[in-house]
Amino acid sequence: MTELGRPARDRAGELGTDLTVGADAVGSSLALVKSAGRVLQILEMFDEIQREARVSEIAERLNFPQSSTSVLLKCLAQMGYLDYDAGSRSFLPSPRVALLGAWLDKGPVRDGSLVRMLEHLSERTGGTVILAARNAIFSQYVHVLQARTAMRFHVPTGTRRLVVWSATGTALLADSPDAEISPLVRRTNAEAMAEQPPIQVAAVMANLARVRRDGHFFSRGLVTPGAGSIAVPLPKRIDRKGRPLAVAISGLVDEFERREAHIVATIQDAIARFLVHMD
Amino acid sequence: MTELGRPARDRAGELGTDLTVGADAVGSSLALVKSAGRVLQILEMFDEIQREARVSEIAERLNFPQSSTSVLLKCLAQMGYLDYDAGSRSFLPSPRVALLGAWLDKGPVRDGSLVRMLEHLSERTGGTVILAARNAIFSQYVHVLQARTAMRFHVPTGTRRLVVWSATGTALLADSPDAEISPLVRRTNAEAMAEQPPIQVAAVMANLARVRRDGHFFSRGLVTPGAGSIAVPLPKRIDRKGRPLAVAISGLVDEFERREAHIVATIQDAIARFLVHMD
DNA sequence: TCCTTTCCATCACATATGTGATATTTATTG
DNA sequence: CAATAAATATCACATATGTGATGGAAAGGA
C-alpha cells in the first residue's frame, strides 16, 4: 500500500527545524495517470538540482519505488528525453526537453531573465522565492527557489493553494474583474469545502482591495501558521498569452513583519530591473 | 554511396505525393511506459502547432484513442501542466512547462537563437529543417520544421536514424575519435541487425572523412529513397554539456544535387550569424 | 425549435503497469 | 582478491490504466 501520511522527514516539530509545507504537489489522488505525473515530476526535479542523478537518488527524492523508477527512467532515456551515461549510471535531461516549452514564451521566461530575477530575489532576501500561476481554483507554484536560511519552510514545486485564499492567489487575482470573484469563491467553497471552513466573499474582496492599492499582499499565516508571504503580481505580458503570474517571498512571519517594507521594495526593484525588456 | 535495404513502408510509391517518412517516434515498442511517452508527445505536438488544441484534434494527430486522450489531458490539466479553457474546451501548455527544460541551456537553446536559426533556414531553403542529437546508437530528431514545399517528406519529431548511417548521425559523429567508431558500428549491427543489412565500418569511416573535410555531409537517399539531406555539425558548446548537435535540411535528392553548394552556404552562414554570441 | 452532427465523458472489461521481493551487478573495504 | 555493501535489474502478481462502446452535451443547420 502507498503511504499517504507524510514521511518522517516532514515532521515539522516545533518551528525549530525545517518546516515542510504540505505538498499535494502531483502525487496521490491528483494523478489520474500515475506515470504521466511522474515523468513531469522527474523533469522538475532535474530543474531543481540542475545536474545528473542516478536511479536511487531520484527514487528517494520523489518517493517513488526504486523498481518503478528504474523502469521509467530507462524508458525516458530510450525515447530520447533523458541522456543516460553508462559510466556513472546517471541520467540527465537531453537537449530534446530543452525545447519542449521554449516556444511558449519569447520573453522573460524563455530568455531566462525571469529566472534570473527569482535568483536575485533569493540572494537578496534569503527567503523562499515562489513563482505562481493560476490553475482552476488554485494558485500553483510553478517554480520555487528554496530559502537559504537555516530555519526554513520547504515548498515543493507544484504545490497548490486556494487562489482566493493565499498570498500568491490574491496577487494573481489582482487584475480580475470584481464580477468574477464571487462565483470563484462559491466554486471554491463547493469544491474544497471538506478541507477548509467556508471562505467569505467579503474577506476575499478586502484582500483584493489591499493588493490593488498597495501593489503587494502580505499574508500573515493565511495558510501556513508561522509563515508569512509577500506576494506581488507580475506585469501582464510576461506570459505570452497574458496569463497572470505572481512572485512571492516566504519566510517567518515575525521576521517578515519587520522587513516588510524592505522586501516589497526589493521585489519591485527586481521587477523593474529584470523584466523591462519585454517585446 | 551504398543504399541500405529498408522496410517496405518506406517504399513510398512514386514520389508524387506527400511522403510520410517512417516514424518510430515514440509509440509502439519503444514506450515501455505508455503514458509517459504520451505526455511528452503531447507537449511536443504543442511545440509544433503552437496554439491550443482540443481533445479530438490531439487524439487524431497523435493517433491516441479519444477516450484515453481525454483522461490524460484532464490529468495533465489538473496537475497544472496544461491550462484548460472551458469556453473553447481547449488545452494549452501552462507556464509551468515553459520552465521545465529552461535551465539546461543558458545559451542558444534557451534564448531562442537556435530556434530562430532553424526558422531562418526553413524560410531560406524551403526544405525540412532538422535538429538532431545523439541517443545511444541513434541520431534522434529533436526538433523538426516541416518543409514548406508542396511535395514534401513529413518527418515527425522524435524520429530516429542509425547514427552511423544517416546524414545527421554522420554530422553528430564528426568530432568523435576514430577509435569509437568501430565499436559503435559493431553495436549497431548487433542491435539493429534484424532491420538492416550489416553496416561496413569502412563505409562509415569514409562518410566521416567527408564530413570532416567538407564541414557538411550530403546523403543521397542514405535512408529514405528519393530524399536527400545535407547535414552540418553545430559548434560544440551549443549544448551546455557539450553534447553534439547537428542541423540538416532534407528535400528531394534531385533538387538538392543542384542546390547543394547554395544550401551548404546558407546553413553555414546561418550558424555564423545566429549562433555567435555563445557564453 | 428540432434535428443532425460533432465532440467529449463515462463505463466495464482486457491489459499494461507498478510494486515488493529477490537476483545480479557494481563499488568498497579489509 | 575476497568479502561486504550499495545500487540497479528482474520477476510475478496485484492493481492501475487503456480502450471500444455508449450516451449525453454542445454546436450547427433548417
Query: What pLDDT shows up at residue A109?
Result: 65
Asked whether the predicted pLDDT for residue A279 surpasses 90, the reply is no
pLDDT on residue B19? 36
Q: Is the CB of B120 under 7 A from strand C?
A: no
- What are the φ and ψ backbone dihedral angles of B20, each rounded to 5 degrees? -95, 115
pLDDT at B12: 26
CB B41 within 8 A of CB B23: no
Res B26 pLDDT > 50: no
In the numeric block, which cell numbers belong to residue A106?
Answer: 519569447
Does the pLDDT of residue B6 top 60, yes or no? no
Query: What percentage of chain A carries pLDDT values higher than 90?
Result: 48
Least confident of A84-98, A255-269, B1-15, B190-204: B1-15
Give the model's pLDDT for residue A132. Answer: 96
**pLDDT value for A256:** 94
pLDDT value at B17 more than 50: no
User: How crowded is residue B186: how many other Cβ atoms within 10 Å of its Cβ?
Assistant: 14
Q: Which of A28, A29, A38, A40 to mutate to test the interface with B (most CBs of B within 10 A)?
A: A40
C-alpha cell, A217: 499582499
* Chain B from 60 to 79: CB within 8 A of any A CB: 71-72, 74-79
| Strand C contacted by B186 CB (< 7 A) | no
B123 compared with B156, residue with greater pLDDT: B123
Residue B142: closest C-alpha in chain A: A96
CATH number among 3.40.50.2300, 1.10.10.10, 1.10.8.190, 3.10.150.10, domain B27-98: 1.10.10.10
> Residue A179 to residues A137, A184, A214: CA-CA distances in angstroms?
15, 9, 21
What is the structure's pLDDT at A127?
Answer: 93
Q: Are B241 and A92 in contact (CB under 8 A)?
A: yes
Q: For residues B140 and A83, is the Cβ–Cβ distance under 8 A?
A: no
pLDDT score of B21 more than 50: no
How far does Cα B33 stand from its chain's mean position? 22
The pLDDT > 70 percentage for chain A reads 84
Average pLDDT along chain B: 83
Q: Provide mean pLDDT across the span B202-229.
A: 92
Q: How far is the CA of A59 from the C1' of D2 (A)?
A: 31
Please tell me the predicted confidence (pLDDT) of residue A222: 78
Cross-chain Cβ contact A92/B241 below 8 Å: yes
- Looking at residue B22, what is its pLDDT? 38
Average pLDDT value for residue range A214-234: 91
Residues A15-20: what's their mean pLDDT?
31
Predicted confidence at residue B25, as pLDDT, reads: 34
Confidence of residue A16 (pLDDT cuts 50, 70, 90): very low
Do the chains contact at A32 and B83, CB–CB below 8 Å? no
HEC per residue, chain B: CCCCCCCHHHCCCCCCCCEECCCCCCCHHHCCCHHHHHHHHHHHHHHHHCCCEEHHHHHHHHCCCHHHHHHHHHHHHHCCCEEEECCCCEEEECHHHHCCCHHHCCCHHHHCHHHHHHHHHHHHHCCEEEEEEEECCEEEEEEEECCCCCCCEECCCCCEEECCCCHHHHHHHCCCCHHHHHHHHHHHHHHHCCCCCCCCHHHHHHHHHHHHHHCCEEEECCCCCCEEEEEEECCCCCCCCCCCEEEEEEEEHHHHHHHHHHHHHHHHHHHHHHCCCCC
pLDDT at A277 over 80: no
**pLDDT score at A232:** 98
Q: Give the residue, A194 or A26, on which the prediction is more confident.
A: A194
Say if residue B230's pLDDT is above 90. Answer: yes
Q: Among all strands, which nt has the closest C1' to A55 (CA)? A: D8
- Asked if A143's CB is within 8 angstroms of B72's CB, the reply is no
Residue B139's pLDDT is: 94
Rounded to the nearest integer, the mean pLDDT of chain A is 83
Q: Indicate the pLDDT class of residue A153, thresholds 50, 70 and 90.
A: confident
Does residue A82 sit at the B interface (CB-CB below 8 Å)?
A: no
Cell digits of residue A8: 518522517
Report the distance separating Cα B232 and Cα B216, nearest Å. 5
Work out the average pLDDT over B174-180.
95
A30-98 has which fold? Arc Repressor Mutant, subunit A (1.10.10)
* Per-residue pLDDT at A244 exceeds 50: yes
Average pLDDT for B255-268 = 96
B93 CB-near residues (< 8 Å, 6+ apart): A101, A104, B43, B46, B81, B82, B83
* Cα angle, residue B78 at apex, residues A133 and A5 outer, rounded to 5°: 100
Q: What is the largest CA-CA distance in chain A?
A: 61
Q: Helices B34-49 and B55-62: crossing angle, nearest 10°? A: 110
Listed by start position, the domains of chain B span 27-98, 102-274
Whether residue A101 is predicted with pLDDT greater than 90 in this model: the reply is no
Q: Is residue A4 packed enough to be buried (19+ CB in 10 Å), middle (13-18) or exposed (0-12)?
A: exposed
Q: Which chain B positions have a beta carbon within 8 Å of A37's beta carbon?
A: 75, 79
Is A57 an 8 Å CB contact of chain B? Answer: no
pLDDT attached to residue A5: 26
Among partner residues B103, B112, B160, which is closest to A111 by beta-carbon distance?
A: B112
Residue-level pLDDT at A170: 97
CATH 3.30.56.10, domain B102-274, yes or no: no
Look at A1-10, A199-208, B80-89, B150-159 and tell me which has the smallest mean pLDDT. Answer: A1-10
| Mean pLDDT for the stretch of residues B116-143 | 93
Task: Report the alpha-carbon distance of residue B276 to residue A159 in Å, rounded.
Answer: 39
Mean of pLDDT values over B186-190: 89
Regarding predicted confidence, which is higher, A17 or A245? A245
pLDDT tens-digit series, residues A170-208:
999 999 999 999 999 998 998 876 677 899 999 999 999
Please check the confidence at residue B4 and state whether its pLDDT lies above 60: no
Helices (H), B8-104: 34-49, 55-62, 66-78, 95-98
For the cut 80, the answer to whether the pLDDT of residue B106 exceeds it is no
Looking at per-residue pLDDT, the higher value among A194 and B236 belongs to: B236
Q: How far is B218 from chain A (nearest CA, A)?
A: 24
For position A260, what pLDDT does the model report? Answer: 96
Measured between CA atoms, the residue of chain B closest to residue A50 is: B103
- Give A228's strand partners: A220, A251
Contacts of B103 in chain A (CB under 8 A): 46-47, 50, 115
Nearest to B72 among A26, A36, A241 (CB): A36
Residues in Cβ contact with A16 at an 8 Å cutoff, skipping those fewer than 6 apart: A151
Q: Of the candidates A32, A72, A133, which has its C-beta nearest B36's C-beta?
A: A72
CA torsion sign, B12 to A96 to B113 to B219?
A: negative
Which residue in the block uniquely carries the three cell numbers 503531447?
B42
Chain C: nucleotides below 7 Å from protein CB are 6-11, 16-21, 27
